[in-house]
Structure 1
Amino acid sequence: MKVYDGSQTNGQQESTPERIKVGIAEYKVTTDSAVLTTSGLGSCIGVALYDETTGAAGLVHVMLPTAEDVEGGNRAKFADTGVEALVDALETAGASTASMQAKIAGGSDMLDFSESGSSIGSRNAKQVRATLDEYDIPIVGEDVGGDHGRSIQLRADSGDLVVKSANTESTTL
């Protein structure tokens, strides 16, 4: 879907990329020049995958580290099964794990009620890294940890991940 803002350049309208919202415990994939966005990344992790060869891009917003002891349910909710679901969807769209790259953001220690000494945010980050490693997908950029929330935008035309947080300027990974 193309969106036009009415401005003209050389007699032609300029289009802006479609914005695709990815909610909590959801994933989306595009092969167009869309911008995939998600917000509310506290202890959650946003995992952006991009295949430069095919131009396929995807984003998942995971909440918890593993789907252990959970039958059925939403695969995108968990770091292990969410990354798997995103990889599967990208492969269906023509991407290859051999040419995928990952960028991750989130995993803050905003509200740490754990008794084990390891916060949900850090456990999410550890599981995301382990699952990406199983697929041999390198992490080429990250903004993880701290005690602040984030919102991210994955620009599917370039693979750039723009990270906005409450306490810093926007950064592009």
Structure 2
Amino acid sequence: MEHVMDKVKVGIADLNVVRQPQKISTSGLGSCVGLVLYDEQQVLAGLVHVMLPDSSLSRTEVTKPGKFADTGINALIKLMEEKGSIKCNLKAKMAGGAQMFNLASKNENMRIGHKNIVAIEKILTHESIPILSKDVGGHKGRSIEFDTDTNLLKIRTVYEGVTYI
């Protein structure tokens, strides 16, 4: 019998896919966004830890597709399809995208969390993947864990405790 780890941790700018009964998690979500795509029929879930909204911001070749919303979401969809999902069955939940620092200037370029949220929402709309719930914005960091048994996203927010969406 093959032993399967019960939880897979996704690092910054990375992505992965798990199958029930595994859980998938990531931490260190400040301005970054943790996006979970899941397929209830195949009982699969994938997570990408997005750092930046658009790969066109990269000055070098993109070697970690999870770093950017556009390349990360596309790579996650492809990986889930390779494991048996059909894109029209995917649903999304997301958390993160905080404005971690109180900026004296209102420089739009420094609102990375907001830009990540907008980019992800735009891509998911284009891909016809519904966002069923989200916990985004604010000024506090988060860690998340998705449970393939319940399809609940557990969110630990700094100084605020745990919520489920």
Residue 60 of structure 1 aligns to a residue whose secondary structure is strand
Give the corresponding residue for 2:36: 48
Matching of residues 133-172 of structure 1 within 5 Å: 133-172=125-164
TM-score (norm 2): 0.90
Q: Within 5 A, what are the aligned runs for 1:34-45?
A: 34-45=22-33
Q: Aligned letter for 1:34?
A: Q
TM-score normalised by structure 1 residue count = 0.86
Gaps of 5+ in 2: none
Residue 61 of structure 1 corresponds to: 49
Match of 2:62 among 62, 72, 75: 72
In the alignment, residue 66 of structure 2 is paired with which amino acid? A
Residue number in structure 1 paired with 2:14: 26
Percent identity reads 39
Shift of 1:110: 0.2
- C-alpha deviations, 1:87-135, integer Å up to 9, x for none? 1111111111111110000000002667226600000000010111111
Misfit runs of 4+, over 6 Å:
none
- Could you say which structure has the higher helix fraction? 2
User: Which residue of structure 1 aligns with residue 121 of structure 2?
Assistant: 129
| SS of residue in 1 equivalent to 2:71 | helix
Point out the structure with the larger strand share: 1
What RMSD in Å do the two structures reach over aligned CA positions? 1.8
Count the aligned residue pairs: 160
Residue-by-residue CA offset, 1:116-161 (whole Å, 9 max, x unaligned): 2660000000001011111100000100000000000011222211
**Could you list the runs of 5+ residues in structure 1 that have no partner in the other structure?**
4-16
Q: Which has the larger radius of gyration?
A: 1
